Amino acid sequence: MASLDRLPMLESQCRGYEGPISAAIYLPLLTERNEGGSGNGGDDARMGVEDNGALSNSWRLQQLGSYPHDIGYGDEKPSLTAGAAIAATLDELMLKEHGDKIRSAREMVQALSSRVEALRFNGVPMCELTLMLFAERTADSQIAAIMPTNALRNAAGVAVRTALAAMLDADLGVSSSFNSMIKNASWIEYLMEETHASPPALCVLPAYEANPQLDDVTANRISDLALAGSKLDLIALWANATVKVFHVDGCRSCHRPINHVLWTRTQVPYEVDFHRNFEPWGILSRFQDPGYDERFRGWAFDKIQHVESLANLGDFRFVILPDVWTLHRPHPKVAIATLHRQVSEKEKNGGTVNLFLKVIQLKDGRTGTVYKHYMSYVGSLIRRERSMLSVGGGYQPQLNPQLVYCKSVLPWWNVLPNTQS
């Protein structure tokens, strides 16, 4: 999943990787409040979050197009909207209110698709890219600035047709060794065995990033070196602190279970125990993925929730792959992340950060900044999930009904896992 400003990063991810990539692109559409609302784009929606315990806006994502191919066969083009009549009405309404913005977004997405296809046609190693553009109408400027990350991850997953799926964000690059390994029949056979075993495994790609203290030009150059080079090259960059374990300064527990020191010394896969707040990226069987809980928006507990579901609902094992890795590419942080993570005051200034510093009052009388209420909301969600998982049942990730319906009718979701290549 990605926003429009991350399309260049998605293109970078696509370069050099000759496998399929499915991506959901997010387009927020701010509209005027028209049913007795205050028009200030914030208070009512945030109060609704506290009342109903779900960010229901993520259920109103409208698919605006798929590039280069519409998902489906023949004239049937499934959409993440309940019913063709509703889809047509929403399309008409959005085009009337936001036609220029939608057309501009479509042109950007189509341009990327056409560029990738042209390069592939001319023999340049590029991914097989499926792009889907999703819009969300909202009168709440804060909601528009908090991407429905988990809903978009689920949407991107719908288009996956291979037996295995690597759940990666657009700002991640994969090592050049990954492209080599996917052509290795023995390696793929090993992944199939691990991911379809009982219990199944999430095969983890260790994550790194260029040292956040580097300037952007240097960080991008180092990122390219770390991805294109060998494992020994990466180890050397890590040894001199040019690259670091991803987000190690902000959340040491998020990737600590991987044991990166052990990873540098081994050439064989190894298994690690699950720990709370573990949030690795990895490869799994798409048929065994419970999906991402769509009540989580933004960048707080969104992936952690998914990994905890794998560990507790699916009894997943976590197998660390020794020969491939991923690296987070540098980019400006989104507004909500600048508040959630430890960043400089310079990064916190300007932009949409001020949207989250606005003080609002909830229906129950509590006051605080939008950011405070957002963190209270996601905190209560993860606590409820953990409480339900601890007693051995009752919790399932919340998926939108359109997603569930699409999976029930799309032909590639209605085959036996062991019949797919």
Question: Given CA atoms 417, 403, 88, 109 in this order, what sign does their dihedral have?
Answer: negative
Partner residues linked to 326 by β-bridges? 174, 207
Q: Mean pLDDT across the stretch 11-25?
A: 92
**Roughly how many angstroms between the first and final C-alpha of the chain, as a whole number?**
25
Per-residue model confidence as pLDDT tens digits over 143-179: 888 899 999 999 999 999 999 999 898 999 999 999 9
Label residue 94 by pLDDT band (50, 70, 90).
confident
Place of tokens 């990666």: 168
Distance separating alpha carbons of residues 253 and 276, to the nearest angstrom? 8
How many distinct structural domains can be found in the chain? Answer: 1
Residues paired with 134 in a beta bridge: 26, 63
- Check pLDDT > 60 for residue 404: yes
β-strands 128-138, 20-30: how paired? parallel
- What pTM value is reported for the model? 0.83
Containing structural domain, residue 264: 2-419
**What separation in angstroms does the CA of 101 have from each of 69, 98, 115, 127, 149?**
22, 5, 21, 27, 21
Q: What interhelical angle do 370-390 and 43-52 show, nearest 10?
A: 10
Confidence (pLDDT) at 42: 40
